[in-house]
Structure 1
Amino acid sequence: MIKQILGKLPRKPSKSSHNDSNNVNDGVLNTHSSLNLFSVPNSVNSSKPTSGSSKPSSNGTLAPHSLSMNKSNQGKKSTPVEAQVGPVLALGVYEALPSFRDVSGSEKQSLFIRKLNMCCVVFDFIDVAKNLKEKDVKRQTLLELVDYVTSVTSKFNEVAMQAITKMVTANLFRTLPSPNHDNKASEMYDAEEEEPTMEPAWPHLQIVYEFLLRFVASPETDAKLAKRYIDHSFVLRLLELFDSEDQRERDYLKTILHRIYGKFMVHRPFIRKAINYIFYRFIFETEKHNGIAEFLEILGTIINGFALPLKDEHKLFLVRALIPLHKPKCVSMYHQQLSYCITQFVEKDAKLADTVIRGLLKYWPITNSSKEVMFLGELEEVLEATQGPEFQRCMVPLFRQIGRCLNSSHFQK
Structure 2
Amino acid sequence: RTLLADRRMLIVLDNARDAEQVRPLIPGARGCAVVITSRSRLAGLVASDGAHQLVLDVLDPEEGRGLLAATIGESRVAAEEEAARRLVRVCGGLPLAIRIAGANLLARDVRIADHCAALPGDDMLSRLRVEGDRRSTVRAAFDLSYRALPAAGRRMFRLLGLMPGPDLTVDGAAALADTTSAEAAGLLAVLTDAHLVRERAAGRFGLHDLLRSYARELAGRDEAHAARQRLFDWYLYHADAAARLLHPAEAAASAGTAGPSAALVFSDHGGASEWLDDERENLAGAVLQASGTGFTTVAWRLAESLHPYLSTRMYTGDCLKVATASLFAAVADGEPRAQASAQLRRAECHRALGNDAQALELFGSALDLARQADWTEGQVLALRRIGAAHQENGSARLASGYLSRARELARCGTGAGAAEGLDLPG
For the superposition of Structure 1 and Structure 2, which TM-score range results when normalised by the shorter chain?
Answer: 0.3 to 0.5
Higher relative contact order (CA 8 A, sep 6+): 1
Bigger-Rg structure (1/2): 1
Give me the TM-score of the superposition, normalised by structure 2: 0.39
TM-score after normalising by structure 1: 0.40
